[in-house]
Amino acid sequence: MNPNFPSLAFVGGGNMARSLIAGLVARGQDPAAIRVSEPDATLRDGLARAFGVSVFDSGVEAVADAGLWVLAVKPQVLPEICSALAPQAQAQKPLVISVAAGATTSQLDRWLGGGLAIVRAMPNTPALIGMGITALYANADARLDQRERAAGLLAAVGPTVWIDEEEHMDAVTAVSGSGPAYLFLLAEAMAAAGIAQGLSKVVAQALVQQTLHGAARMLVELPEPAEVLRQRVTSPGGTTEAAIQALEGGGFRALVGAAIDAATRRGAELSASNG
């Protein structure tokens, strides 16, 4: 699919913006139609060299005449940046997509002057290798065609899903946004346990990495749900059953639930702190 965006501005040129730009260009987007603002000269010049996009040191320059804006800056600077761009937002009435965590569509709309079509997106870090997933929420001012444009842009780094209630974005953040860290922690723990059982570090890490990679592909590519796949591996009286019983006996499910709940509540707190 050729995304075919005639005018596209990124405010912020960090890792997520770079991943989206790379995905778009790989899918046929004309780099000449992409404008990026990034205050860091090294990042800015790197984007220009890698993708042939136009780069600027200020958002005001980057968004000029662009019909679609992607806000890809740190949440703590978002209010200030949006306020600076508000006059242009009101004049141009772009579709605004925010990949910044913790800012609601109503906050973004207020900071930008009001009456804008805004889509809030929550990609996760596997987007850096084109293997992410993004949850999307659109405010009432976003038309169907604008929703489709937003989904088409984020599809450059993986599949997308829509949520109907913005309050659920905190749960999305807890499950998929923070989720890769849970898997990395599991990988750390499995490798350390293998080393404790006498395996070398190299062997333990290789076993863990390929096991998790293969299991993740099975989860995505096979039709059976996780519960069925787990049961197939767990022979009665076998080694896997012994391990599963130890995990369940230690409150594994409750710990995962508590982790997701803690991350969800923290996400709500961060959103509230923006006012």
Query: What are the start-end ranges of the H helices in the chain?
Result: 15-26, 41-51, 59-62, 78-92, 105-111, 144-154, 169-172, 179-196, 201-221, 226-233, 239-249, 252-273
> 218: Cβ–Cβ under 8 A, 6 or more apart, which residues?
229
Is residue 222 pLDDT above 60, yes or no? yes
> What's the average model confidence in pLDDT over 94-100?
96
> What's the average model confidence in pLDDT over 102-117?
95
Of 77, 123, 121, 68, nearest to 96 by C-alpha is: 68
User: What pLDDT sits at residue 36?
Assistant: 98
> What's the average model confidence in pLDDT over 207-214?
98
User: What pLDDT sits at residue 4?
Assistant: 66
Is residue 1 pLDDT above 60, yes or no? no
What percent of the chain clears pLDDT 90, i.e. is strictly above it?
Answer: 91
Domain ranges of the chain: 8-166, 179-271
Q: Which of 1-10, 125-134, 154-163, 182-191 shows the lowest mean pLDDT across its residues?
A: 1-10
Is residue 3 pLDDT above 70, yes or no? no
**pLDDT-based confidence at 268, cuts 50/70/90?**
confident
Q: What is the pTM of this model?
A: 0.90
Is residue 79 pLDDT above 80, yes or no? yes
Is residue 275 pLDDT above 80, yes or no? no
Residues 106 and 138 sit within 8 Å (Cβ to Cβ): no
HSE on the CB side for 245, CA within 13 Å? 9
Structure token digits, residue 128: 């850096």
Q: How far apart, in whole angstroms, are the C-alpha atoms of residue 125 and residue 131? A: 8
Of 34, 40, 27, 24, nearest to 54 by C-alpha is: 34
- Is CATH 1.10.3730.10 correct for 179-271? yes
Would you identify the CATH topology of the domain 8-166? Rossmann fold (3.40.50)
Q: H-helix or E-strand containing 68?
A: strand 68-71
Residues 38 and 47 sit within 8 Å (Cβ to Cβ): yes
> What's the average model confidence in pLDDT over 104-126?
96
> 80: Cβ–Cβ under 8 A, 6 or more apart, which residues?
none
